[in-house]
Amino acid sequence: MTDFKTPYGLIGRKLGHSISPEIHAALGNPHYSLYELEPDELPVFLADTRLKALNVTIPYKIDVIPLCKTLDPLAEAIGSVNTLVRQDDGAWKGYNTDAYGLRCMMRAGGLSFDGANVLVLGNGGVSQTIQAIAKLDGCAALTVLDLKGTEYTYDDLPKFYADTTLIVNATPVGMYPKAGKSLVDLTLFPNLKGVADVIYNPQRTALLLQADALGIPYAGGLTMLVAQAKQAAEHFFGKPVDDAKIAEIGAKMQADAENIVLIGMPGSGKSCIGNALEALTGRRQIDLDAEIIKKACKPIPEIFAESGEEGFRRIESEVVREQSANRGVILVTGGGVVTREENYAPLRSNGHIYQICRPTEQLSREGRPLSIGADLHEMERVRMPLYRKFADAAIDNNSTPEAAAAEIWRDFCAYTRAEWAEFEYARHS
């Protein structure tokens, strides 16, 4: 049986990647714990009167309803509860703060249910909220797909390609540790105007990365997570919390969790800048070439000698997928990481990518199998369009590594603030 830790917390079945304790600590509640429960533990656990208030996540947002004596009208109308508050008589009252979080997320992404033909992926607890709010906010049509086929299964997708204008993912598909997956191909929806995904880890799911590549407006789940926590805290303690806390906490959460990724030509100074960034920020640096050596149990020249460049690139892509799952680190890549398009999604899913630029004549060849004896001008000609395609920003390394690191850090901090400043604008507009 799960042991009592603190009177506040989150209940769910698998909570290893949850950042809810950090958010609630930022909201002024350090007494917030994660409680992983099996279904048969739920009634006994909730009977513990030491518990004062809880958030609820997968798969218990519907299961807790019979254990509540009363429900807030919105929670009752939606049929999903994600917040429990102990009443004076010792009974639980259920609330739904996902609705508030969802509306904040939609607004932040410039999306609206009003007049939309909505396709919802999944039919669990959070899907119930999305369906209810989509109807309340004036959607023109609503279709739900799920594995069990309550309404339609994913085999029915082609029926909705032409009419769908808004897709909302309410499933865990695409979430770490199984990032990189998506239930739909957005190129098949000719009239799509927006995409939302309730997943917050990674910051950009494969679904959202495709929306971004296609120029389709999108919204990710971190805004929803922070906003619903803010309203949950209001229910926990019975006092209002300033809406400005959503952007304040969200910007910090994103900045703390998002990786800084360095790409660029071999010998451009990525490792030296990575060292300087580590010293400047206190973040851990991960050198992907070093991780490749660990994985292969042999030095890189030996990998090339035995398996050729193709064998090396295959190992490199495996390492990229593995190490991109880290949060809040500095990822230093090899010069050829951009030669495989499949490396972009994992690096970008939870990272801001910086191209390190240096004059070709100043590129070091030492210890680089493909650089020794190569025509670096020709290599640069081939790779430069790929670097530009991967990179969010370019940084010149024409002074010292410390200067380049400082410029990257200034840009990174400004970028995360700017993303949430747009949320502030949307909130007030």
Q: Which residues are designated catalytic?
A: 61
- Residue 257 class from Cβ within 10 Å (0-12 exposed, 13-18 middle, 19+ buried)? buried
Contacts of 24 (CB under 8 A, 6+ apart): 8, 30, 32, 229, 233
Q: Single out the residue of 104, 118, 120, 128 nearest to residue 193, CA to CA.
A: 118
Strand order of the β-sheet with 393-396 is 285-287, 330-332, 259-264, 351-357, 393-396
Phi, psi (rounded to 5 degrees) for 121: -95, 115
The DSSP result for 292-331, as a single string, is HHHHHTS-HHHHHHHHHHHHHHHHHHHHHHHHTT-SS-EE
Q: How many helices (H) and strands (E) does the chain have?
A: 14, 16
Q: Single out the residue of 31, 95, 20 nearest to residue 65, CA to CA.
A: 95
* Residue 190, token pair as written in the block: 């000719």
Kind of pairing, strands 53-56 and 83-86?
Answer: antiparallel
CA distance 408 to 177: 28
CA distance 241 to 328: 27
CA distance 250 to 106: 15
Cross-strand pairs, 261: 331, 353
CA distance 259 to 262: 10
The DSSP output letter for 265 is S
Going through 26-150 in order, the beta strands assigned E by DSSP cover: 32-36, 53-56, 70-71, 83-86, 92-95, 117-121, 141-145
Contacts of 187 (CB under 8 A, 6+ apart): 210, 214
CA distance 223 to 382: 39
The DSSP output letter for 152 is B
